[in-house]
């Protein structure tokens, strides 16, 4: 009933930019927030960014603050992740996720366990 599809990954040189998209679909789809996570080879999945459908400030991991920006299109049920000034350490599979739970404040939507639906991921590789 619910499907999340990421796109926009690829190979880019250090200092370059990419924009990822995540399209949500399904008759029963409903969520309060969307999240972006990434998983590098041999490492655990880590939080990147989250954005609420109702507005408010996006929240970012310290490692990407000032370089990445999350945005949304409520009509298209799509969220985006603009990635600038990319570094080799940004290389990972990037996943989008959706949460059905309401939460307020800055301690929300930053852990894997807080999300209910996940996409299949898109590979981002940054060369030096």
- Longest Cα–Cα distance in the chain: 43
Question: Which residues 6+ apart lie within 8 Å of 53 measured at CB?
Answer: 31, 32, 33, 34, 72, 74
First-to-last C-alpha distance (Å) of the chain: 41
pLDDT for position 13: 98
Confidence of residue 28 (pLDDT cuts 50, 70, 90): low
Structure tokens at 63: 């490692």
pLDDT for position 72: 95
Average pLDDT, the chain: 94
Distance between CA atoms of 71 and 82, rounded to whole angstroms?
A: 8
What confidence tens digit (pLDDT) does each residue in 65-98 have?
999 999 999 899 999 999 999 999 999 999 999 9
What confidence tens digit (pLDDT) does each residue in 90-112 have?
999 999 999 998 888 778 999 99
């Amino acid at each position: 009933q619910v499907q999340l599809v990421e796109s926009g990954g690829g190979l880019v040189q250090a200092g370059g930019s990419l924009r990822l998209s995540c399209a949500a679909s399904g008759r029963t789809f409903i969520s309060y927030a969307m999240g972006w996570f990434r998983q590098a080879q041999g490492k655990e999945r880590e939080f990147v960014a989250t954005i609420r459908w109702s507005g408010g400030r996006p929240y970012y991991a310290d490692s990407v603050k000032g370089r990445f920006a999350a945005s949304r299109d409520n009509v298209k049920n799509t969220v985006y992740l603009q990635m600038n000034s990319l570094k080799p350490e940004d290389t990972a599979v990037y996943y989008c996720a959706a949460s059905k739970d309401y939460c307020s404040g800055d301690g929300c939507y930053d852990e894997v366990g807080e999300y209910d639906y996940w996409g299949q991921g898109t590979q981002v590789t940054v060369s030096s």
